[in-house]
């Protein structure tokens, strides 16, 4: 096990009725900006619950943050924060609203000319404006981590940011919010969380046994509840298990002391930036083809995953690894994913070349647990996915 530091300061308020407790988490005298997306919270009652809880606070609001939150839209909120001297941000939404709020938290304390520099130059946010979250869509884990992904529409770029100043102060996880989530987004949530675990698990064999067992436990739980939650989103216990699995998949715990990959995500972001494909669906396209491309490097771990998660019996390492890959693709299909790029967009001829050029420009030569994925390999993986 490699050395690590672990500090996750997020206070989680999990369960029924927890939204009403947010008032206790935000000092009364602060000016709060409530941020949300395209309006789902106004139809499912979450907006009313939040506003009710904050009835004794000074509240401003900013809606309209789109899926794959856009810098251009967020800059409107940034101006409002400056104009009204906002002191606390409250994200009410899924990963997009939470990530957008993290961008605003970092932008509020940034001294440079344009907050996009935080993403373009990879500047970590050490201290941001304090914020909390009310999660409405289990998927990304953003509610309990310090990362964010922001899109610049004008250049079709999707870039990552982070830093220890970007942990939420608190996050409300009320499984009742799952009831109103559309099927497509439920499917996305299960697969995003599943791939988060694989990015931190499906690497090479290492001696950190507990991290592996926790990762396998999250994968097995998602396999168990994923197909059912899509059919029964009102089932509280299913929703609770789904929600906590998504949070645990990316709150930093399972990546400590072990190698991690993340190349599926970095290539996937380009597919969203170029074609607008939902985040989770890009992972279902790229992941299996990346495992195929990196088969020699990953086969030991693929076989362990096949045995322990899919219960495959003892054939050779190669055979079990291949079967595990087939099981994974079948699960993605069961969860409504289409695992080929051509099934998700018609306009993919130039994609692999653009991915190659962007990886080159950014100097990304050594992605993946073996530093084996650079521009050429990323291009080959995209081509395999056609």
Q: Which residues bind ligand NZQ (CB under 6 A)?
A: 37-41, 44, 67-68, 93-97, 99, 136-137, 139-142, 145, 147-149, 177, 180-182, 185, 188, 192, 250, 265, 279
- DSSP-assigned states of every residue in 208-234: -HHHHHHHHHHHHHHHHHHHHHHH-TT
Q: How do 58-62 and 31-36 pair as beta strands?
A: parallel
* Smallest distance, ligand NZQ to C-beta of residue 151, A: 7
φ, ψ for residue 294 (rounded to 5)?
A: -100, 25
How far is Cα 34 from Cα 13, in angstroms, rounded to an integer?
A: 18
Sole residue written with tokens 């009320």? 174
Question: What is the greatest pairwise CA distance in the chain?
Answer: 65
> CB nearest Zn ion: which residue?
192
H/E segment holding residue 261: none
* Smallest distance, ligand NZQ to C-beta of residue 166, A: 9
Strand partners, 162: 147
Q: Pick between residue 255 and residue 351 the one whose CB is nearest to ligand NZQ.
A: 255
Q: Is there a contact between 336 and 184 (Cβ–Cβ < 8 Å)?
A: yes
A 10 A CB-CB count for 377 gives 20
- Dihedral of alpha carbons 229, 270, 196, 194, sign: positive
Q: Pick between residue 19 and residue 191 the one whose CB is nearest to Zn ion.
A: 191
* Smallest distance, Zn ion to C-beta of residue 29, A: 37
Q: Pick between residue 212 and residue 278 the one whose CB is nearest to ligand NZQ.
A: 278
How far is Cα 58 from Cα 76, in angstroms, rounded to an integer?
A: 20
Residue 181 contact among ligand NZQ, Zn ion, none, beta carbon within 5 to 8 Å by kind: ligand NZQ
Q: Pick between residue 243 and residue 309 the one whose CB is nearest to ligand NZQ.
A: 243
* Smallest distance, ligand NZQ to C-beta of residue 346, A: 23
Residue 188 contact among Zn ion, ligand NZQ, none, beta carbon within 5 to 8 Å by kind: ligand NZQ
Q: Pick between residue 139 and residue 302 the one whose CB is nearest to ligand NZQ.
A: 139
Binding mask 166-205 for Zn ion (x = CB under 5 A): --------------------------x-------------
Q: Pick between residue 103 and residue 110 the one whose CB is nearest to Zn ion.
A: 103
Judged by the rule CB under 5 A, the positions of this chain that interact with Zn ion are 192
């Amino acid at each position: 096990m490699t050395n690590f530091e672990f500090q996750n300061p997020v206070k989680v308020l999990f369960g029924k009725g927890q939204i009403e407790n947010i008032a206790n988490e935000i000092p009364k005298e602060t000016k709060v900006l409530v941020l949300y997306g395209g309006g789902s919270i106004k139809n499912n009652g979450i907006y009313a619950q939040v506003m009710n809880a904050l009835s004794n606070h000074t509240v401003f609001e900013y809606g309209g943050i789109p899926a794959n939150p856009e810098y251009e839209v967020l800059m409107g909120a940034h101006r409002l924060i400056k104009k009204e001297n906002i002191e606390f941000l409250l994200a009410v939404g899924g990963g997009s609203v939470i990530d957008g709020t993290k961008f605003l938290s970092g932008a509020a304390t940034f001294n440079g000319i344009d907050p996009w520099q935080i993403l373009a130059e990879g500047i970590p946010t050490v201290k941001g404006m304090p914020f909390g979250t009310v999660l409405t869509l289990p998927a990304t884990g953003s509610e309990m981590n310090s990362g964010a992904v922001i899109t610049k529409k004008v250049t079709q770029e999707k870039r990552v940011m982070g830093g220890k100043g970007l942990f939420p102060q608190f996050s409300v996880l009320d499984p009742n919010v799952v009831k109103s989530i559309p099927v497509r987004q439920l499917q996305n949530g299960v697969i995003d969380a599943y791939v988060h675990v694989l990015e931190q698990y499906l690497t090479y064999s290492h001696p950190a046994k507990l991290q592996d067992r926790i990762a396998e436990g999250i994968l097995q739980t998602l396999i168990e509840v994923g197909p059912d939650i899509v059919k029964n989103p009102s089932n509280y216990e299913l929703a609770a298990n789904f929600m906590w699995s998504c949070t645990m998949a990316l709150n930093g715990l399972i990546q400590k002391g072990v190698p991690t990959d993340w190349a599926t995500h970095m290539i996937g972001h380009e597919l969203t930036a170029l074609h607008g494909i939902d985040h989770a669906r890009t992972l279902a396209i790229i992941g299996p083809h990346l495992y195929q491309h990196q088969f020699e490097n990953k086969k030991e771990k693929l076989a362990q995953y096949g045995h322990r998660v899919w219960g495959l019996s003892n054939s050779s390492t190669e055979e079990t690894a291949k079967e595990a890959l087939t099981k994974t693709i079948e699960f993605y299909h069961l969860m409504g994913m289409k695992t080929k790029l051509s099934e998700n967009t018609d306009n993919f001829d130039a994609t692999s070349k653009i991915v190659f050029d962007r990886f080159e420009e950014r100097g990304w030569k050594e992605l993946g647990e073996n530093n084996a994925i650079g521009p050429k390999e990323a291009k080959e993986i995209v081509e395999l996915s056609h």
